[in-house]
Amino acid sequence: EILGALMSMIIVWMVTGVLTYLACMRLLHPDYDIDATVMLITSACAVLANVLLSLILHQTGHGHSHGAQAGGRVSAPLEKPALSNASLRAAFVHAIGDLFQSISVLISALIIFFKPQYKIADPICTFVFSIFVLATTIPILRDILSVLMEGK
């Protein structure tokens, strides 16, 4: 479980690193073309998929039973939240990271769609949201390292 969570964090950081590198290349070599319509459709689909995935991963139990026995209502033990284990939390953070990067692309696509001369919005949004994504992984990484180092 912990190694899976660590792998998820590593993948998030690698993808973010690649996106940041590509954004740097676009700033250094501004002679590129962007098809804003394709970018808009693709990013909108990615936002929708990541919202659905995030909602699925964030589902929690509601802590009671709907059944009854002969003498009345029987309560089930409180269910643990779905995000209580590190690998689910890491998967959730991964999905949220993808969601924010998809939102970044969507914002860039909207700007470029209406104002094509502002294509610099693409690398700028990539930088802003990459910083946010990396910052959101730090608490999970701390938890993972604490378990791996047998901390408290």
Spell out the domain ranges in the chain: 1-61+84-150
| Contact by Cβ (8 Å): 48, 64 | no
| Contact by Cβ (8 Å): 34, 119 | yes
Nearest to 138 by CA among 23, 21, 13: 13
pLDDT digits (tens, 9 = 90+) for 89-111: 777 877 887 888 888 889 999 99
> To 5 degrees, how large is the angle CA 142–CA 14–CA 4?
50
Task: For 69, list phi and psi in degrees, rounded to 5.
Answer: -110, -175
Is the overall model pTM greater than 0.85, yes or no? no
Beta-carbon contacts of 73 under 8 Å, excluding residues fewer than 6 positions away, are: 65
pLDDT digits (tens, 9 = 90+) for 15-25: 889 989 999 99
